[in-house]
Amino acid sequence: MVKKIPIGPFHPILEEPEFFELHVDGERVVDIDMTIGWSHRGIELLSEHKTWDQVPFLVERVCGICSCSHPYAYVKAVEDLLQIEVPERAQYIRAIVAELERLHSHLLWTGLAGHFIGYNTVFMWTWKYREPVLDILEAVTGNRNHYAMMRIGGVRREIPVEEIPNIRKMLDDLVEKNKMLTGAIVDDPVIHARTEGVGILDKKMCRLYGALGPTARAGGYNIDARRDHPIDAYGKIDFDVIVCENGDVYDKAVVRQLENFESIKIIRQALDKLEALGPGDICTEIGEVPPGEGIGVYEAPRGEVLHYIRSNGGNMPMRHKIRAPSFNNILTNEYSVVGDTVADAGLITAAVDPCYSCTERVGRIDRNSGERWIMSEGDLIRMSQEKTEEIRKMMTGK
Amino acid sequence: MDLKYLFFYLIFPGFLFTGVVGLLTTWVDRKVTARVHWRVGPPWYQPFADTMKLLGKEVIVPAGSKKTGFLLMPVIGLAAATLASTIIWLANLFSVSFVGDSIVVLYIMTIPAIAMILGASASGNPLAVLGASREMKLLFAYELPLVISMLTTVYKAGSFSFERILAEQASSGIMLGSASGIIAFIVMIMCVQAKLTFIPFDIPEAETELAGGTHIEYSGAPLAVIKLNTAIMFFVLPVFMITLFWGGVSFAGWSILTSILKYVAIVVIIVLIKNTNPRVRIDQALRFFWGPMLVLSVVALVLAVLGY
């Protein structure tokens, strides 16, 4: 007999509202329904009503964790339109902040994953070790989160030279703690029992669903926007892309843990370069933004984030499109959850490190009847064509 | 029926005493857990404050539930846990015992779990029903090794009564002093962990999978009763183990101190196991208890028969 077990819209395993309906036979999941649209905030539309310089602060709020990746991709999109080069010093500062963000994001996930399998000690310890990363971020940017560092043409704040030895010391401590944590995950037999062979997403399926970031790399799909589209400092820094083979939850954890070491490696190199460069300019002044379009791509902790902007020569973006990595990754649950047990379903949905608010698209619901509409491909194409027609009329003034 | 026994059941060593010490034990649990987590932990009266607060909260009965069963089951569980505690303590303190009381206690101690299964099923929530089915599977898993490890002690004492078991330990040394006793003790600790539905065997409740599972629909006073029930079981089971393996508890002179130490030692072992393991899946739990634990308990029994 097939029963329906709801995970969500509000559930302890979800930090944000999202709705998974599991169709289960006993404990085994035979099908899964996913519904998004519970926290749509209309960020893209808001962004089209802000000036170019205000948008970074808005897109920072797309996601509480990727609060550097989204502005990074956005400023790269505008810089792509403007065809300008960022001062070298600013490039390294950008890399440092972005990699610190990856560190704290991956540590946050490891802690949460521990909590999801009931291992609260791992949860608490990981989050304790995450604190120094936030301290460094506070020292560098002034904020623990929402760093407000990115600016079109460069960064907003300098990293003072006297801070650098302190940051290095904290990173050294972090390497030791991360080694211990990785050891604890690799050595624990019960963690192996719970995560190995669970929620497998192999290379073929990664390609098919367009999985991104650690989710794809755990399955052997070797993609990383930092290496594939080296922006700013990433072309000048030496780092490895961690790839595993099996694509189960265990590999997803291992990929993230090992990426922490790579992030520390990148930060150390960038700090070296900063010291070698000496004081200098951190931002290029920009003038008017000409009409045109630009694309910015950056590897956020969860995978490739893409920002597209279109300008009509005014002081605001005319169109701003955001594609967050979780949108691709959450869909992979359709394949990886089915066939596993209810006990694993929550863990598997959490293993892609989902960020539901980033993903949200508008959903349509009738307030009186409670009926929901699902937009077909045809509907969306029609709506998009109508919008394009509207924009064309507006631009040509006809 | 003697009024004396009513006093025993309601005041000491029954409901009041067991409830108070049980809640204090949950405080020890929370404090030790907090220290392991590098947190500060609550003050000692926190469990009492929580219970009082819950008792004053609104009781919500879900629309699709069977009301009587839903509300009655926590109380039945509480009554059973209290009865088990009373029997064990009377045997320990006043040598009030009867033939086969250990079997009776073993049976009574399964009632809270069964009451939870029935109460959860009566709530009509799909997550609670799933939790109930897991609780049932878990019950089947741990009962067999639990009984066999108890039989080790029973064989050595030559009797099913607590009094004889305690007398045997007083005359020829505690059960933990022998190889078979140690093995049976280890098996029983694991079974107790499952009986208390603590991590790694908190599968029926599984906060992050079933959002509370069997408890999900309970609120207010019934939830307070369930929490009290868990607290009492957390008190009863270690005392049950001390009685079987570690020479029992006593309030005479200095032995009150050693009794408390024995008790706290077992509680801390349970709490540490709870904090150093992730939750296992139900199939893994079943395999664990019917595989290694069953084998170990049989080994302990065979060793006991051979005289080790």
Q: Between these two residues, B211 and B76, which has the higher pLDDT value?
A: B76
How many interface pairs between A and B have CB atoms less than 8 angstroms apart?
Answer: 82
CB under 8 Å to B75, separation ≥6 — which residues?
Answer: B225
- Round the average pLDDT of chain B to a whole number and report it: 87
Cβ–Cβ gap A190/B277 under 8 Å? yes
Nearest CA in chain A to B33: A121
* Dihedral sign of CA atoms B207, B210, B212, B214 in order: negative
**Average pLDDT of span B63-70:** 85
In chain A, which residues have their Cβ closer than 8 Å to the Cβ of B203? 343
Q: What's residue B34's pLDDT? A: 92
Q: What's residue A362's pLDDT? A: 65
Q: What's residue A186's pLDDT? A: 84
Q: What's residue B1's pLDDT? A: 59
**Average pLDDT of span B273-286:** 88
- CA–CA min distance A369, chain B (Å): 21
> What is the tens place of the pLDDT at every residue in A175-201?
998 898 888 888 888 888 888 888 888
What residue ranges do the domains of chain B occupy? 3-306
**Structure-token pair, residue B195:** 């009986």
Q: What's residue A398's pLDDT? A: 63
CB A2 within 8 A of CB A27: no
> What is the tens place of the pLDDT at every residue in B85-111?
888 888 887 777 777 788 888 889 899
Residues A61, A65, A71, A77, Cα dihedral to 10°: -120
Percent of chain B with pLDDT over 90: 21
Q: Which of A325, A362, A380, A328 is nearest to A37 (CA)?
A: A362
> What is the tens place of the pLDDT at every residue in B33-43?
999 888 898 99
CATH number at A41-342: 1.10.645.10
Q: What's residue A75's pLDDT? A: 92
- CA–CA min distance B39, chain A (Å): 8
- CA–CA min distance A225, chain B (Å): 33
Cβ–Cβ gap A193/B284 under 8 Å? yes
Of A3, A11, A194, the CB nearest to B211: A11
pLDDT band at B219 (very low <50, low <70, confident <90, very high): confident
Q: What's residue A73's pLDDT? A: 92
In chain B, which residues have their Cβ closer than 8 Å to the Cβ of A194? 278-281, 284
Q: Which of A326, A324, A290, A320 is nearest to A308 (CA)?
A: A320
In chain B, which residues have their Cβ closer than 8 Å to the Cβ of A3? 126
Nearest CA in chain A to B35: A121
Q: Between these two residues, B237 and B178, which has the higher pLDDT value?
A: B237
Percentages helix, strand, coil for chain B, rounded to the nearest 5?
75, 0, 25
What pTM value is reported for the model?
0.84
Regions of chain A where pLDDT drops below 50: none
Look at residue B261 and give its three-state secondary structure: helix
Cβ–Cβ gap A120/B275 under 8 Å? yes
What residue ranges do the domains of chain A occupy? 41-342, 365-396
